[in-house]
Amino acid sequence: MISKAMQDAINEQIKNEFYSAYMYLSMSAHFEEQNLTGFATWLRVQFQEEQGHALKFMDHLYERGGTVNLLAIPQPPSEFGTHLEVFQQVLEHEKKVTGMIYKLYELALKENDYASQVMLQWFITEQVEEEKNASAIIADLNLIDARGTAVLMLDKELGKRGKG
C-alpha cells in the first residue's frame, strides 16, 4: 500500500505531466501556424511522451492500491517567440520537471517506499535524455543562427521523429 503523502505527491506529478503534454501541444500548434511542420511533429511526439509519463504514474498508483485524483491543469501559453526561444523554454521546463522528479524520489526515500524509488529511477534516467535532447536542438539552432544556414533543414530532420 502506498502512503497518502506519496499518493498525493504522485497525483500532483500526474497533473504536471499532463500540463507538460498540453504545453508541448500548444508549442506544436505554434509551429504548425508557421508552416514548420517538422518542429510541430517533434513537439507533438513530445506531447505524446508526456501523456505516457502521466499514465505511467497513474498505473503505479493503481498497482500500489492508491487512488488517482485528477487535478485541474492550467492553461499553457500560446505565444512562444522564435524557434530558438521555444526550445530554450523546452529545456527550462524539462529542468523544472527534473527537479520535481528529484523531490518525488526524496519523498520515496523518506517514506521507505522502495517500489516508488524503483519506478522513479526510470523517470530520472528519462529526464537526463529529455534535457540532452533539448540541449542538442538548442546547439543546432545556435549553429544555424551563427552560420546563416536554413532552419528548414533542421525542421525536416526534426520531422522524422517517430516515423520509424
- Residue 92 counted as domain residue: yes
What is the 3-state secondary structure of 16-76? Answer: HHHHHHHHHHHHHHHHHHCCCHHHHHHHHHHHHHHHHHHHHHHHHHHHCCCCCCCCCCCCC
pLDDT at 159: 83
Alpha-carbon gap, residue 11 to 9, rounded angstroms: 5
Residues 102-149: tens digit of each pLDDT: 999 999 999 999 999 999 999 999 999 999 999 999 988 988 776 766
- Residue 48 counted as domain residue: yes
CATH number at residue 119: 1.20.1260.10
- Residue 124 counted as domain residue: yes
| Better pLDDT: 29 or 149 | 29
Domain of 135? 4-158
- Residue 128 counted as domain residue: yes
For the chain, the average pLDDT equals 94
- Residue 164 counted as domain residue: no
Residues 60-93: tens digit of each pLDDT: 999 999 999 999 999 999 999 999 999 999 999 9
- Residue 152 counted as domain residue: yes
Burial of 33 (0-12, 13-18, 19+ CB in 10 A): exposed
DSSP 103-159: HHHHHHHHTT-HHHHHHHHHHHHHHHHHHHHHHHHHHHHHHHHHHT--HHHHHHHHT
Predicted model pTM? 0.90
pLDDT at 149: 66
**Total number of domains in the chain:** 1
Give the lowest-confidence range in 40-44, 74-78, 116-120, 155-159. Answer: 155-159
- Residue 163 counted as domain residue: no
Residues 6+ apart with CB under 8 A from 5: 107, 111
State yes or no: pLDDT of 153 exceeds 80: no
pLDDT at 148: 63
